[in-house]
């Protein structure tokens, strides 16, 4: 890692696009197929967390126990259904300003990464026509599940930036709190109560140059 290297590391869902509706639909379809109930409340717990964690939360909420083989079958079905749904993603499904934000980061000399809990990040980025602007996509299987900050640490290492030289763009309060604990600079997208160093209502309103100037001091 090099002192002069700075990085911008983005969460995917809720920051660059919204895939939560597709995740929830695929979980509803899996629940119907395997005979357990999900609710809007229980589905909220599946956002930005790995499939195994999501399934455990859904089953706990439903009061259902499944053996390991069946749990694996549920997750495989859910992922296959989700892939069917994201096959319809188009560049226009990226949030307004998402591509511009990535382009601006590259223009500023920032190394650009994505740190998402999804194992389908590459496919989503490709369908949104954003993949060409991202230098590294962290593999969530190599890190502790979010909201652990480990996946962002992996991104920092891959991009050659010290954690204190990383700008992390997130929409989850617990995730932001853990990133701050690790010394990373945080930009919260959406809710102004996320506890980030700075907040923006949408990615389109983020001034990457101003953030980089603050980080450099």
pTM of the model: 0.88
For 167, the token pair is 């700008």
- Closest by CA to 149, choosing from 123, 133, 126, 172, is 172
What is the mean predicted confidence (pLDDT) over 8-22? 93
- Closest by CA to 171, choosing from 142, 195, 137, is 195
Tens of pLDDT, residue by residue over 141-200, are 999 989 999 999 999 999 999 999 999 999 989 999 999 999 999 999 998 889 999 999
Question: Quick check: bond before 147 cis, omega within 30?
Answer: yes
Question: Of how many residues is the chain composed?
Answer: 217
What is the mean predicted confidence (pLDDT) over 119-134? 96
Torsion sign across C-alpha atoms 28, 30, 34, 36: negative
Q: What confidence score (pLDDT) does residue 136 get?
A: 98
C-alpha to C-alpha distance for 163 and 108, rounded to whole angstroms? 18
- Closest by CA to 209, choosing from 112, 95, 99, 106, is 106
User: Tokens 């959406």 — which residue?
Assistant: 190
Tens of pLDDT, residue by residue over 17-69, are 998 889 899 999 999 999 999 999 999 888 777 889 899 999 999 999 999 99
C-alpha to C-alpha distance for 208 and 10, rounded to whole angstroms? 12
C-alpha to C-alpha distance for 76 and 20, rounded to whole angstroms? 18
* Contact of 50 with 145, CB cutoff 8 Å: yes
Element (H, E) at 168: strand 166-170
- pLDDT-derived band at 3, boundaries 50, 70, 90: low
For each of the domains in the chain, give its residue range(s) and CATH number, in order of start.
7-18+91-216 (3.40.50.1000), 20-86 (1.10.150.240)
For 22, the token pair is 């597709």
What is the chain's Cα-based Rg? 17
Q: How does DSSP classify residue 200?
A: E
For 206, the token pair is 């983020």
Among 40-44, 113-117, 121-125, 207-211, name the one with the lowest average pLDDT: 40-44
For 55, the token pair is 């399934």
Q: What confidence score (pLDDT) does residue 25 get?
A: 95
Question: Quick check: bond before 54 cis, omega within 30?
Answer: no
Residues contacting residue 185 through CB under 8 Å, at least 6 positions apart: 164, 166, 167, 168, 197, 211, 214, 215
């Amino acid at each position: 890692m090099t002192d002069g290297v700075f990085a911008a590391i983005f969460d995917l869902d809720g920051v660059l696009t919204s895939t939560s509706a597709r995740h929830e639909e695929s979980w509803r379809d899996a629940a119907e197929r395997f005979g357990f109930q999900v609710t809007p409340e229980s589905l909220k717990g599946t956002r930005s967390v790995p499939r195994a964690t999501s399934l455990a939360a859904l089953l706990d909420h439903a009061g259902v126990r499944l053996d390991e083989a069946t749990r694996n079958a549920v997750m495989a079905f859910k992922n296959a259904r989700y892939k069917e749904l994201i096959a319809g993603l188009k560049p226009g499904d990226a949030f307004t300003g998402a591509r511009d934000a990535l382009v601006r980061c590259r223009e500023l000399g920032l190394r650009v990464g994505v740190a998402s809990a999804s194992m389908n990040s590459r496919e989503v980025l490709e369908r949104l026509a954003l993949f060409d602007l991202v230098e590294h996509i962290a593999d969530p299987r190599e890190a502790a599940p979010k909201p652990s900050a480990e996946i962002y640490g992996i991104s920092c290492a891959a991009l050659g930036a010290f954690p204190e030289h990383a700008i992390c763009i997130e929409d989850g309060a617990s995730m932001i709190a853990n990133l701050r604990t690790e010394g990373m600079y945080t930009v919260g997208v959406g809710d102004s109560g996320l506890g980030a160093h700075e907040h923006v209502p949408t990615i389109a309103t983020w001034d990457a140059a101003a953030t980089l100037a603050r980080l450099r001091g």
